[in-house]
């Protein structure tokens, strides 16, 4: 059994103190990150500069001693590796060339051809596997197919994923072909991360909550199950965290349906509900509201203790319900960690 706390929790062990890491823990709330990003020139240059990407991944580990580091990259590197144009607009976020017609899809590369573009990401993983403290687990990650597809279809983030839903309704054959290509590429990408040294991986389905009923089962659950099954076939024993954000009642049974070792929870569900309905199937991760990293104070302490206590009878990884925001106070992160570890 690994002595790394995160891997012990993923293996189903209930620990006296849960391991801690934080989504987007390498990010703009840290002055050292902002300095490194400025050195890189822009966000994509930072992602593809293996030395600098490893540096920003290590920064929160040095500052806080988190139990895990997560590879610094972006979920939209896979569309770029498939041949989509990708750029970032300052203050507005990512932009991509769109896939809305068969000709757009036909221009994409096969999934097996993504590695040339993504080799710098694998080198980042190799650097981290050498540089991280021996007690710190290394998490690789990718976006889930539905979430990545929403960006590829709309060309940007949207509040309700309407363009993707429209393509699904108007040309389901094309929509499903795109989802299939992304699924294949995601398997290739995550497998290469594991080959480079990632000890577990996380699948982010940030927009899963906009899928309902059968569509959730078909386009969130089924692709995750396929990705996880193939990764575990290639890498026996690999732990996988799945995050179908805002899934609500669809969190129930998601671990069993997909083969995920851990289900990450957003903060729209209560820890008591999740302990009764989700943790019963294995490890859960979450789920402090990111707003507490901005406001801090006694409310942060109280809610952190509440979550730790609610999940104390089963395997649990402490985390936020979504990524930390750029306006967070680094001191509040330390307060959260101290509160979890003071039990």
Q: Is 126 a catalytic residue?
A: no
Options 8, 29, 37, 226, the catalytic residue: 37
Contact 69, 61 (CB under 8 A): yes
Options 33, 64, 122, 151, the catalytic residue: 151
Question: Which H or E run contains 304?
Answer: helix 297-310
Q: Is 151 a catalytic residue?
A: yes
Q: Is 122 a catalytic residue?
A: no
Selection from 45, 117, 118, 123 nearest residue 87 by Cα: 45
Alpha helices in the chain (DSSP H): 5-10, 31-40, 43-48, 50-64, 77-81, 102-106, 115-131, 145-154, 162-170, 172-196, 213-216, 222-234, 254-258, 271-277, 292-295, 297-310, 330-341
Options 24, 181, 226, 245, the catalytic residue: 24
Report the sign of the C-alpha dihedral through residues 67, 315, 16, 291, in that order. Answer: positive
- Strand ranges for 257-303 from DSSP E: 262-264, 283-288
Options 67, 74, 205, 261, the catalytic residue: 74
- The residues that are catalytic are 24, 28, 37, 74, 151
């Amino acid at each position: 059994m690994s002595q790394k706390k995160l891997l012990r929790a993923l293996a189903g062990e209930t620990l006296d103190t849960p391991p801690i890491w934080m989504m987007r823990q390498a990010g703009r709330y840290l002055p050292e990150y902002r300095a490194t990003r400025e050195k890189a020139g822009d966000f994509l240059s930072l992602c593809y500069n293996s030395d600098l990407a490893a540096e920003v991944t290590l920064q929160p580990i040095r500052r806080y001693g988190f139990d895990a580091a997560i590879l610094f990259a972006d979920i939209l590197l896979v569309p770029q590796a498939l041949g989509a144009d990708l750029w970032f607009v300052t203050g507005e976020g990512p932009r991509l060339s769109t896939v809305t017609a068969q000709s757009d899809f036909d221009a994409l590369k096969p999934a097996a051809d993504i590695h040339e573009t993504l080799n710098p990401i694998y080198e980042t993983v190799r650097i981290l596997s050498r540089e991280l403290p021996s007690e710190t687990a290394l998490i690789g990650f990718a976006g889930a197919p539905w979430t990545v597809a929403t960006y590829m279809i709309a060309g940007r983030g949207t509040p309700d994923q309407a363009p993707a839903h429209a393509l699904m309704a108007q040309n389901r054959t094309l929509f499903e072909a795109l989802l299939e290509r992304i699924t294949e590429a995601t398997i290739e990408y995550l497998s290469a991360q594991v080959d480079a040294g990632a000890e577990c991986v996380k699948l982010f389905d940030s927009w899963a909550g906009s899928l309902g009923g059968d569509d959730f089962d078909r386009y969130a659950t089924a692709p995750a199950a396929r990705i996880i099954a193939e990764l575990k076939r290639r890498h026996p024993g690999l732990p996988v965290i799945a995050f179908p954000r805002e899934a609500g009642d669809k969190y129930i049974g998601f671990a069993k349906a997909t083969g995920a070792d851990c289900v990450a929870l957003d903060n729209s569900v209560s820890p008591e509900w999740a302990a009764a309905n989700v943790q019963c199937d294995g490890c859960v991760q979450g789920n402090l509201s990111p707003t507490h990293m901005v406001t801090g104070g006694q409310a942060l302490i109280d809610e952190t203790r509440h979550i730790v206590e609610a999940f104390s009878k089963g395997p649990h990884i402490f985390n936020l319900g979504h990524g930390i925001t750029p306006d967070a106070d680094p001191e509040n992160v330390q307060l959260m960690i101290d509160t979890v570890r003071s039990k």
